[in-house]
């Protein structure tokens, strides 16, 4: 898909930042599991957190096509760092969809400029794929609401300044769900230990506890009982972003392999001369290109406010993440024994790829959504 001049320009800014600042530290970030604040700072200074956000709220005022291009470029070199971008998009989306003007001015501006990181707390110990079974409560008390509950696997928890929590305000399974904004430092908000993960090791994932967290009713995001609907719209916007992340991881692995197969010799010739190696490379490239096109299609539908986007957002996320897992596994195979060793980047890419099949709805759930979309359209 041809990008406009502006989209190409934004993508090339992301590519240079990725090459100059982020790639050189990717292996170290994975090894130490340290949260890459320096990368966050560079991305913030260059406007990468607000590419698709309107200028009036501190963004660049471009579109989703540009945003997914940026996420792909960063993920190509360091998936952990790209999670900061995708999570910021996840935290920004409910404000853009349902926020009041005041909330957008205050919170979206902070998120788009990278002044604050944001987290979106949906998942609970008993509510993963079945989001609507969540138990965290928000109970009115005068002009305030009191929040109580436990969230798990929350990205950037403890690093973020702005949290959006999905809570229950009545017993109705879906119409009893309401979103609330909680600022860091609010009494009763605390964090559990950092999870020790297989991949995206430089991204922080933590449990969050809400114990009598008091917030003014102005912190309700969207109307009471509208939370589930908002959440579904949020996922339509953010699943293509996870697809872009997966596409970047896969492209990074293919790029590495292409250099490797031209250098490595066995049986007296470079291994790229073997047809079985060529066949694998061709399959990898075809699947990556298809992923990118699906991601761009969903992004374009979002830019055009197309109401049928849900199925395509799920297709983009599901296909691209399955591709990332397959391509990175093949990349390890093509690099042979060295591919299995941590000094070479492809094993990291394989570990990083796995999460894209799990978060923001597992790929089984994406298939349920796609099938519903096909059957009910
Ligand atoms: C690194 C990381 C970061 C995360 N970041 C966040 C975050 O920032 N915010 C947040 O709220 N959450 C976050 N999550 C949570 C993530 O979105 C959930 O883990 C995910 O949605 C799956 O939920 P679960 O782990 O409870 O699995 P479960 O829902 O228990 O699923 C277990 C298995 O059952 C399958 N399954 C379940 N229901 C069905 C069905 N109806 N049909 C077919 N198969 C089904 C699933 O596909 C899966 O294979 C994160 C998770 C991780 C690991």
- Specify the residue with its C-alpha closest to ligand 1, atom 40: 365
Q: Can you name the residues that pair with 124 across neighbouring β-strands?
A: 127
Rounded Cα–Cα distance for residues 191 and 194 (Å): 9
Identify the CATH number of the domain defined by range 5-112: 1.10.540.10
CA–centroid distance, residue 124 to ligand 1 (Å):
10
pLDDT (average), residues 244-257: 98
Average pLDDT over residues 309-321: 98
> Over the Cα atoms of the chain, what is R_g?
21
**Cα(88) to centroid of ligand 1, in Å?**
19
Mean pLDDT of 275-293: 98
Around ligand 1, the residues with Cβ closer than 6 Å are 87, 119-123, 128-129, 153-155, 197, 205, 355, 358-362, 364-365, 368
Locate the ligand 1 atom nearest the alpha carbon of residue 127 and give its number: 26
Q: What does the pLDDT look like over 38-65, one tens digit per residue?
A: 999 999 999 999 999 999 999 999 999 9
**Which pLDDT band, with edges at 50, 70 and 90, does 145 fall under?**
very high
Q: How far apart are CA 235 and CA 238, in angstroms?
A: 5
Interval between CA 244 and ligand 1 midpoint (Å): 19
Please determine whether the domains at 118-227 and 228-376 fall in the same fold group of CATH. Answer: no
H-only helix segments in 166-274: 227-263
- Return the CATH fold of 228-376: Butyryl-CoA Dehydrogenase, subunit A; domain 3 (1.20.140)
* Torsion sign (Cα): 300, 98, 189, 177: negative
Of 82, 93, 102, 69, the C-alpha closest to 22 is: 82
Task: Compute the distance between CA of residue 156 and CA of residue 133 in angstroms, rounded to an integer.
Answer: 23
Question: Which residues are the active-site residues?
Answer: 360
Task: Determine the pLDDT at residue 377.
Answer: 77
Find residue 139's DSSP bridge partners. Answer: 146
Nearest Cα residue to atom 38 of ligand 1 = 129
Residues 6+ apart with CB under 8 A from 349: 79, 249, 252, 253, 256, 328, 331
Q: In this structure, what token pair is assigned to residue 136?
A: 């965290």
pLDDT tens readout for residues 63-79? 999 999 999 999 999 99
Give the pLDDT of residue 2. 83
ipTM score of the complex? 0.99
Query: How many whole angstroms from 154 Cα to the centroid of ligand 1?
Result: 12
Residues in the chain: 377
| b/e 227-261 (16+ beta carbons within 10 angstroms → b) | bbbbbebbbbbbbbbbbbbbbbbbbbbbebbeebb
Residue 264: pLDDT band with limits 50, 70, 90: very high
CA quadruple 72, 74, 78, 80: dihedral positive or negative?
negative
Ligand 1 closest atom vs CA 364:
47
Fold of the domain spanning 118-227: Butyryl-CoA Dehydrogenase, subunit A; domain 2 (2.40.110)
């Amino acid at each position: 898909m041809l990008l406009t001049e502006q989209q190409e320009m934004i993508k090339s800014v992301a590519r240079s930042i990725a090459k100059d600042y982020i790639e050189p530290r990717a292996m170290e970030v994975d090894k130490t599991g340290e949260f890459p604040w320096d990368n966050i700072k560079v991305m913030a200074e260059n406007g990468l957190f607000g590419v698709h956000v309107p200028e009036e709220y501190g963004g660049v005022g471009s579109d989703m096509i540009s945003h997914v291009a940026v996420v792909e470029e960063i993920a190509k070199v360091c998936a952990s760092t790209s999670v900061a971008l995708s999570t910021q998009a996840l935290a920004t989306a409910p404000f853009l969809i349902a926020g009041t003007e005041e909330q957008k001015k205050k919170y979206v501006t902070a998120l788009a400029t990278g002044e604050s990181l944001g987290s979106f707390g949906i998942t609970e110990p008993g509510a993963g794929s079945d989001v609507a079974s969540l138990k965290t409560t928000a109970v009115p008390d005068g002009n305030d609401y009191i929040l109580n509950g436990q969230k798990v696997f929350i990205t950037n928890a403890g690093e973020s300044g702005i949290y959006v929590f999905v809570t229950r305000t009545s017993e109705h399974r879906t119409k009893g769900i309401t979103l609330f904004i909680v600022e860091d430092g609010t009494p009763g908000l605390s964090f559990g230990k950092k999870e020790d993960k297989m991949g995206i090791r430089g991204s922080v994932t933590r449990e969050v506890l809400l114990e009598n967290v008091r917030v003014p009713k102005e912190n309700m995001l969207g109307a009471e009982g509208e939370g589930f609907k908002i959440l579904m719209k949020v996922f339509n916007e953010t699943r293509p972003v996870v697809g872009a992340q997966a596409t970047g991881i896969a492209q990074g692995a293919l790029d590495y392999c292409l250099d490797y197969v031209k250098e490595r010799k066995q049986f007296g010739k470079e291994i790229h001369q073997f047809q079985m190696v060529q066949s694998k490379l061709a399959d990898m490239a075809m699947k990556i290109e298809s992923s990118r096109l699906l991601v761009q299609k969903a992004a374009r539908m979002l830019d055009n406010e197309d109401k049928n986007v849900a199925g395509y957002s799920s297709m983009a996320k599901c296909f691209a993440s399955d591709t990332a897992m397959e391509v990175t596994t093949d990349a390890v195979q093509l690099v042979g024994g060295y591919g299995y060793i941590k000094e070479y980047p492809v094993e990291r890419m394989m570990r990083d790829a796995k999460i894209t099949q799990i978060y923001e709805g597992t790929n089984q759930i994406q298939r349920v959504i796609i099938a519903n979309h096909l059957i009910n359209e």
